[in-house]
A and B are shown apart, each in its own frame.
Chain A
C-alpha cells in the first residue's frame, strides 16, 4: 500500500487546481446552457464535487486533516440540498407539468 501511494504522488499542486477549476467551469457551463431543472441541479453537484476534491488535495498537501473534515460537512450539506431541491422540483412539476426552468420565471412577480 505504501509503495503504491508513494508511486502515485508527485503531481504538482497547480495541476490539481487547474483540473478542479476546469470541472467547476464545466458545472457553470451546464447551469448556463441547460433548461432542464434536474440537469441544472446535477451541474451544481459537479461544482460541489470539484471543490471537495480541491479541499482534499490541499489537505494532503498541507498535512492537515481539517480540510478532509470540511469535505465531510460539504457532503452532508449536499445531501440535504439535494433532498429539498428535488422535493421542490417534484412540486413544481405537479403544478406546471414541465421541468423547464423558464416555467419558474413567474416567481419574479
Chain B
C-alpha cells in the first residue's frame, strides 16, 4: 500500500521536473521516467497488458519520436523561448485552481472504498484479448484505419515539398 504513495510521489516529482526544466532534452528524459512510474502503477493494479503496452508504446515509440524530432531541429539554450514570470505565475495559479476544484468536489463524495481486485485476472492478455476481439471488434478495426491515416498524413506533412503547384 505504501508502495503506491512512494511511486505517486515519484511521478508527481518527475512530472514537475518535466515542465520546469529549461532544457527540452532534459524535459523528454524526465518524461520517460514519469512514464516508467506510470508503468509501475499499472503493475500495481495488475493490469499487465497495459503495463507492457505503456512500456513499449509510450517509452519506446513515442518518446523516441520526441527525442528524434528534438535532435532533428537542432535547438540549443539560446533559442529556447521563455515566457515572462507574470504569465508563469498566472499559469501555475490557474492549474492549482483546477486541483482545488477537483479536490473540493472529491470531498463531497465521502465514500472512499479501497481498490480491491474483484477479478485479479482482468488485466491479463488472454482476458483483454477476448473482450477486444468480441465486444470491441469494430472500434479495433477502425483504430487501425486511424493509424494508417496518421501514417499517411505524417509522411505527407514532413515531406520536403519544393515544387509549387
Q: Which chain A residues have a beta carbon within 8 Å of chain B's beta carbons? A: 2, 5-19, 21-30, 32-36, 38-39, 41-43, 45-46, 49, 52-53, 56-57, 59-66, 68-69, 71-73, 75-84, 86-91, 93-94, 98-102
How far, in angstroms, from A23 to B158 measured CA to CA in the complex? 31
Q: For B117, what are the chain A residues with a Cβ–Cβ distance below 8 Å?
A: 5-6, 9, 60, 63
Q: Which residues of A contact B102 (CB under 8 A)?
A: 17-18, 21, 25
Decide if A76 touches B106 in the complex (CB within 8 Å).
no
**Per-position 1/0 for B70-103, Cβ under 8 A of A:** 1011010001111100011011101110110011
Total interface residues on B, using CB and 8 Å?
88
**B62 CB, min distance to chain A CBs, angstroms:** 5
Which residue of A6, A42, A81 is within 8 Å of B28 (Cβ)? A42
How far is B112's CA from A4's CA once the two chains are assembled, in angstroms?
Answer: 23
> Given known contacts A23-B15, A84-B154, is B69 in contact with A89 (CB within 8 Å)?
yes
Instruction: With CB as the reference atom, state the residue of chain A lying closest to B101.
Output: A21
| Chain A to chain B contacts (Cβ below 8 Å), 6 pairs | A10-B114, A29-B19, A33-B19, A60-B115, A77-B146, A87-B158
A74 to B99, CA, bound (A): 23
Which of B41, B87, B147 is A80 in contact with, Cβ under 8 Å? B147
A43 touches B38 (CB 8 A): no
How long is the Cα–Cα vector from A72 to B81 in the complex, in angstroms?
35
Closest CB pairs A-B (n = 4): A32-B91, A80-B150, A63-B118, A30-B19
The answer on a CB contact under 8 Å between B81 and A102 is yes
A71 to B73, CA, bound (A): 31
Once the chains bind, are A82 and B99 in contact (CB under 8 Å)? no
